[in-house]
């Protein structure tokens, strides 16, 4: 439900990056009133979680890379905002395995130093070898990611077209809701499938 309360399209307003700072009154029937949209959206924007999980965070570079010693489950990560501290956490349901990100990073850096080259002339050749080997070992995942990106772009174009048809009253509200939900479910499925493949 929160997706309807974050996108102004659903309260009868159209905004576009092609027309910055401009709001267009849509012809579509609003799914939520503007008053409710503004009130709830402001609440959602101001809400602060004590723990906030983030799939892409430069402060947690070891996520999915580091695995639990006890069950081999990849770690995820989160921040405790009240303390402004980052932690890694075992992704397994029910696990209470948490690790300080700061300590894990220090340990990991110490481990990496054991591979430090004594002569800088070997650095560039080694980089090339590592890059080639990475591509070789991850060729399937790279191709999967490329295909998934193409699929997601295609679905997004369909969603954009669906919204456009709804705005210009080419389709009814029930039709819009039905196909919009189907497309978003498919979009989510592709992302989840890709994520599972990437961490295997």
**pLDDT for the residue 32:** 66
Residues of the chain with pLDDT under 70: 1-32, 34, 37-56, 198-200
What is the model's pLDDT at position 48?
Answer: 47
pLDDT digits (tens, 9 = 90+) for 122-171: 888 988 998 899 888 888 888 888 899 999 999 999 999 999 999 989 99
- Residue 8's contacts (CB-CB under 8 Å, 6 or more residues apart) are 14, 15, 23, 37
Report d(CA 64, CA 90) in Å as an integer: 10
Distances (CA, A) of 51 to 1, 25, 75, 102, 163: 22, 37, 15, 17, 34
What does the alpha-carbon distance between residue 145 and residue 137 come to, in Å, rounded to a whole number?
14
pLDDT of residue 140: 87
pLDDT at 155: 95
Could you write out the DSSP letters of every residue in 132-167? Answer: HHHHHHTHHHHHHHHHHHHHHHHHHHHHHHHHHHHH
Per-residue confidence (pLDDT) for residue 49, from 0 to 100 = 45
Residue 156 has a pLDDT of 94
Looking at residue 191, its pLDDT comes to 87
Question: Is the whole-model pTM more than 0.85?
Answer: no
Are 24 and 13 in contact by the 8 Å Cβ rule? The answer is yes
CA distance 61 to 105: 9
Q: What are the tokens at 189?
A: 């499925």
Q: Which residue has the tokens 């196909």?
A: 179
């Amino acid at each position: 439900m929160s997706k309807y309360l974050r996108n102004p399209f659903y309260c009868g307003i159209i905004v576009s990056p092609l027309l910055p700072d401009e709001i267009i009154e849509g012809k579509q029937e609003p799914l939520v009133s503007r008053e409710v949209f503004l009130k709830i959206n402001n609440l959602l924007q101001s809400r602060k979680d004590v723990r906030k999980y983030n799939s892409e965070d430069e402060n947690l570079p070891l996520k999915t890379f580091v695995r639990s010693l006890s069950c081999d489950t990849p770690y995820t990560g989160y921040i405790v905002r009240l303390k402004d501290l980052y932690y890694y956490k075992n992704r397994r349901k029910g696990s209470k395995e948490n690790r300080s990100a700061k300590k894990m990073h220090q340990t990991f850096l110490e481990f990496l130093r054991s591979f430090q080259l004594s002569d800088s002339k070997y650095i560039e050749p080694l980089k090339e070898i590592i890059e080639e080997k990475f591509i070789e070992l991850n060729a399937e995942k790279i191709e999967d990611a490329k295909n998934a990106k193409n699929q997601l772009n295609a679905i997004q174009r369909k969603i954009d077209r669906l919204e456009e048809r709804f705005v210009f009253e080419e389709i009814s509200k029930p039709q819009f809701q039905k196909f919009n939900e189907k497309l978003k479910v498919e979009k989510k499925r592709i992302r989840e499938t890709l994520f599972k493949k990437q961490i295997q």
